[in-house]
Chains A and B, each alone.
Chain A
Amino acid sequence: MSRHAAVADRARPTGRGFRRPSRSARAADAALEGIGGGRLAGGLLVAALLLVTMHVLHFAVLVPFYPDATASAWAWVVLFAGTAASWAILALVRTRWIAPSVMLAIALAVVVLDVVGTQGALYLGVTPTAAPAIGALLMPVAVLRDPRFAVALGSTVGAILAVCALAQAEQAGVQAVVGVANAGTAVLPVVVTALASSGLRRIVRFELDLVLVQSTVGTSTRAVGMFASEELARLDDDAERLLADVGAGRVPLPLTRDLAATAGSLATRLRMRLMEGRSDTWLKHAVAESEYLADAVDVHDPDGLAGALAQGQRDALLLVLWLLVSDRSRAAAIPVTVRLGPATPHDPMHPRRTAFPVSIAAHGVPRGRTDPSTWEAAGIVGPFESSVANGVRTITIDCAVENRADTGDVGLVR
């Protein structure tokens, strides 16, 4: 019964760390898919074509100086034919991508032809032109597919060209500099594009994570959490299968030891989930489901006071944590701690008001580097004080929330 074995497998406890519910993960993947690619890559193609044009014109200028331009001309032919064929294949056959080995083969053929055509002529000012153009053509590759492959290929071409230029240094003298600079033009465009693309991706991931986690803010006072809800559905599913198998007599009674263990662990985890979910709040889920907050924030909220906050306050509190985490130096290993409560005794003047402090301590936030919107957000949660001592920034916010009679909903007191 392998499926029961799979159940047992899932029963193993998972450590602390970032776990995104599968629905959020799917949403995130869909949004990240093709960031900056697709139709947008058009702008990048223009840049690539401009650079290729530059190399073509450079070749045209150099032709009179060539002892024999045939091999380099062939290099250009191979480059154009290879690129055109690749585009045609991508456009006509609905293949997802040209295999890296094919690109590698085309690039290699171009480099070999161009080097053969120019080697020994550097003293005349003749440098390879088709080979550095590969770097420009790799720009869309870096964005649409694999930046590491593009950078690696571009760097390899650049390195080969640089070595070839230096090998002619004795004969070419100062012209070797031109050869090396020419080799650099094969690398720079890919590197810049890859940097841009990965930076873009990072920004979008970060922003997306915030948006996905912000959805926790809208849940009611006590939230089961998306992850727990998925886990519950899965556990129910596993339990249903096991029970159906027992009920239909597909497994013998008494159960084997393995199956009994599976049933035991299912019962334990179900019991845990059913009780645990009742005391969690949105804040705990928001932190647990965020790629960036999961390991960077510790929430201490024994009384579940975060659930009492109004939606606007929740939004602001999440943003405060977010901004603090993103402003910390990367090396900061100590998590930001948030402590909610304890609630102050009820004020007889305002019997329905709950008041409690929220204190946030963040290590490693450089003085003066805190984003001004942090304070703006903190002010929405409530009146606050902030201080820095021994490199720890402490923000203490006085929260007051009005319990709206029986609905359990809460409003913000100003």
Chain B
Amino acid sequence: MKRILKERDRLLRRLARVTGMTGALGALLCLMVPTGSTPGSLAWGMLGCLAVAAAVGLATGRDAVGSSVAVVASAGAAVVAIALVSGRLHPSTATAIVLLSGISAASVSFILVVRPRLRIPLALLAAVSISLGTAASFRPGGMPGLAMLSMSLTWLGTIAIALWIERAVAVAVSRIDEVGGAHRAERLASELEARQRQDARLLHDTVLATLSLLAHAGVGVAPETLRGQAREDARLLRQLRLDATASSQAASTFFTPEPPDDDEALGATLESVKQRFGRMGLDVHWHGTGQVLLPRETLDALLGAMAECLENVRRHSGVVEADVTVTDDATTVRAMVTDAGVGFDVAAVDSERLGFAESVVGRLHAVGGRVRLFSSPGSGTTVMLEVPKP
């Protein structure tokens, strides 16, 4: 990250150059106005020197202290010279003094502020510059109070801007670091996802074949065959998509969303249930085999009921782990939620009080399922959820 600091310093040097040159040019223009009482030629020479010194010193100077001192010194010399050669300060001459001491000289704050060890020298340079400008304004016709005020405020202004840039870069550095770390993780995930897609395709690649058939408008193939094949391929792609969204495939293949014409993504997958509880401090372990095809409503009811049971485990069991086992036979899908927690006497506790009546029992009844509860004090709890297969 050293590079960004180098870039920052380059930017600050550029700002110093713009500010310093603007002040010097402005002062030069002010002095070019014929006033009669300013020996123009002398001041011109001075300012020529100043402009050159400022430009060269700031544009090329790697030596911050040297070039800054040079700028302030040349501006100071010019101010003193102007004051000495002018008998009476014309408004334009007074303006030139303020421009030199308050803007050209103040440009060095851009260079010095970012070096903590140079902050005291910076304050000294500011004090010297402002004093010289003020002293010069004490000539008849000058307004020393106003001059001092404006010079002090422009110095403070440039210092404030320089400090702002320093802070902004520091904040950006830490933010860039964060983004870089997060992005590395994202790239690895993306790489994994792409690999899964490619691997799946290599294993059972009929998508390309079907698309190629479709590219010929499906001529020469029985429409029903083609439709069936397209349905199968769409299902494979959907499976891939859902796998990719869940961060781990372990649990998400238990269920597959059923009808291929239902375009919506599966509302709640087992994986998201698991993660939700994981965040709340309950570790859920899934057991079970194969894929289970269920109509959407039934699936939602089963997942909802399961989530309620897990919530009960989390609140009442006193343990931080639960097991969910999913099995199925020809007619029924069973999900068993088991914990090794405190348990309770089923006969003694009204099941309504556990929040079971509506959230679990009601839900499963609505899709033709049922629930059984096994527990005794000290030996954990098991809830068996059953829903019929279509």
Contacts and interface: CB of A to CB of B under 8 A. Distances in A.
Interface string A183-213: 0100011011101100110011011100110
A216 B190 CA distance: 11
A187 to B, nearest CB: 9
B349 interface: no
A50 interface: yes
Contacts of B164: 36, 40-41, 43-44, 47, 196
B376 to A, nearest CB: 50
B291 interface: no
A246 B188 CA distance: 35
A50 B186 contact: no
Contacts of B193: 229, 233
A86 B138 CA distance: 41
Interface string B180-202: 10111011101101110110010
A191 B180 CA distance: 32
B354 interface: no
Interface string B230-249: 11111001101100100000
Contacts of A206: 7
Contacts of B18: 191-192, 195
B172 A195 contact: no
A373 B160 CA distance: 32
A244 B260 contact: yes
A199 B244 CA distance: 40
B15 A236 contact: no
A243 B233 contact: yes
Interface stretch (B71-79, B205-213, B319-327): B205-213
B179 A219 contact: no
Contact of B230 (A189, A199, A243): A243
Contacts of A274: 198, 201
Contact of A43 (B95, B167, B176, B195): B167
Contact of A244 (B197, B208, B211, B263): B263
A47 B214 contact: no
B55 interface: no
A23 interface: yes
A96 B194 CA distance: 39
A189 to B, nearest CB: 7
B194 A47 contact: no
B244 to A, nearest CB: 7
A253 B379 CA distance: 62
A53 B153 CA distance: 8
Given A195-B15, A248-B260, A277 B194 contact: yes
A31 interface: yes
Given A174-B92, A243-B210, A248 B231 contact: yes
Nearest to A237: B241
A204 B8 CA distance: 10
A248 B219 CA distance: 18
A41 B208 CA distance: 55
Contacts of A254: 217-219
B223 interface: yes
Contacts of B211: 239, 242-243, 263-264, 266-267, 270
Contact of B168 (A40, A230, A260, A270): A40
Contact of A196 (B11, B149, B186): B11
Contact of A373 (B3, B30, B92, B219): B3
A167 B181 CA distance: 60
B8 A203 contact: yes
Interface residues on B, range: 35 or more
A207 B172 contact: yes
A189 B169 contact: no
Contacts of B261: 244, 247-248, 250
Interface of A is mostly: helix
Interface residues on A, range: 35 or more
Given A174-B90, A253-B218, A61 B234 contact: no
A214 interface: yes
Contacts of A246: 214, 218, 226-227, 230
A27 interface: yes
A36 B183 contact: no
Contacts of A178: 91-92, 94-95
A177 interface: yes
A355 B211 CA distance: 43
Nearest to A226: B190
A43 B1 CA distance: 24
A78 interface: no
Nearest to B98: A181
B165 interface: yes
Contact of B180 (A203, A215, A244, A267): A215
A125 B146 CA distance: 13
Contact of A257 (B157, B175, B179, B217): B217
Contacts of A46: 160
A105 interface: no
A224 interface: yes
B373 interface: no
A228 interface: yes
Interface in A12-63: 21, 23-24, 27-28, 30-31, 35-36, 40-41, 43-44, 46-47, 50-51, 53-54, 57-58, 61
Contact of B191 (A125, A174, A219): A219
B19 interface: yes
Nearest to B163: A43
B161 interface: yes
Interface in A240-287: 240-244, 246-250, 253-257, 259-261, 263-264, 266-267, 270-271, 274, 277-278
Given A236-B241, A270-B211, 10 more contacts: A35-B172, A43-B164, A47-B157, A54-B149, A58-B146, A181-B26, A199-B14, A264-B214, A266-B211, A271-B208
17 contacts: A43-B167, A47-B164, A50-B160, A51-B153, A199-B14, A211-B183, A212-B180, A226-B186, A230-B190, A239-B207, A240-B237, A247-B230, A247-B233, A259-B217, A260-B214, A260-B216, A266-B211
Listed from nearest, the 6 A-B pairs whose CB atoms lie closest are: A247-B231, A264-B215, A229-B194, A47-B160, A43-B164, A211-B180
Interface of A: 21, 23-24, 27-28, 30-31, 35-36, 40-41, 43-44, 46-47, 50-51, 53-54, 57-58, 61, 125, 174-175, 177-178, 181, 184, 188-189, 191-193, 195-196, 199-200, 203-204, 206-208, 211-212, 214-216, 218-220, 223-226, 228-230, 232-233, 236-237, 239-244, 246-250, 253-257, 259-261, 263-264, 266-267, 270-271, 274, 277-278, 371, 373
